[in-house]
Copies of this chain bind each other. A is one copy, B any other.
């Protein structure tokens, strides 16, 4: 269970924007350069974040993206939900069986009940944890790293 790079990129861009806020919109290429990301790919992500209402954009020269809300009003849960997609809860989990086999269609009430229990727990916990992290928190964390040597020993998955 790990953060997709997609979500990580998105978060990086947003943190960048949060740090730059107050200075007018920042262009996708500016962010991409500072964050060492592929411009074309980043644009896709920014676009999705804009459609979801997290960003506003201005076209034309001196245009770019800005946060649509204050940093403490944007949570990580929201970003992950937007970028990793909001697939149907049930269909996503349905396995892809090759041959007809009984498979793991949770046909039995008993099995279904357990799936639901696990699903509820996971969802509740994730939403709670990641919903508690805002862009502002991350900006703080970034600042606290200022002097520290970065030793690559950070982890994105459980």
Q: Is A63 an interface residue (CB 8 A)?
A: no
Residues of B within 8 A of A104 (CB): 5, 9, 35-38
**Stretch among A22-30, A53-61, A66-74, A119-127 lining the B interface:** A119-127
**B114 & A12 in contact (Cβ 8 Å cutoff):** yes
**B93 & A121 in contact (Cβ 8 Å cutoff):** no
Could you tell me the distance in whole angstroms from the C-beta of A90 to the nearest C-beta in chain B? 5
What mask results when residues 76 to 90 of chain A are scored 1 for a CB within 8 Å of chain B, else 0? 110011001001011
Residues of B within 8 A of A101 (CB): 38
**A125 & B132 in contact (Cβ 8 Å cutoff):** yes
Copies of this chain held together in the complex: 2
**A150 & B80 in contact (Cβ 8 Å cutoff):** no
Could you tell me the distance in whole angstroms from the C-beta of A18 to the nearest C-beta in chain B? 10
Q: Is A105 an interface residue (CB 8 A)?
A: yes
Given A38-B103, A117-B145, A141-B117: A112 in contact with B158 (beta carbons within 8 A): no
**B35 & A155 in contact (Cβ 8 Å cutoff):** no
**B36 & A123 in contact (Cβ 8 Å cutoff):** no
**A150 & B117 in contact (Cβ 8 Å cutoff):** no
14 sample A-B contacts, Cβ–Cβ < 8 Å, listed by A number: A2-B84, A8-B93, A11-B114, A15-B118, A89-B152, A109-B150, A117-B138, A117-B142, A119-B154, A121-B141, A122-B130, A122-B156, A123-B156, A128-B129
Across chains A and B, which 10 residue pairs bring their CB atoms closest together, nearest first?
Answer: A119-B154, A125-B129, A117-B141, A89-B155, A126-B158, A129-B129, A123-B155, A117-B142, A37-B104, A35-B111
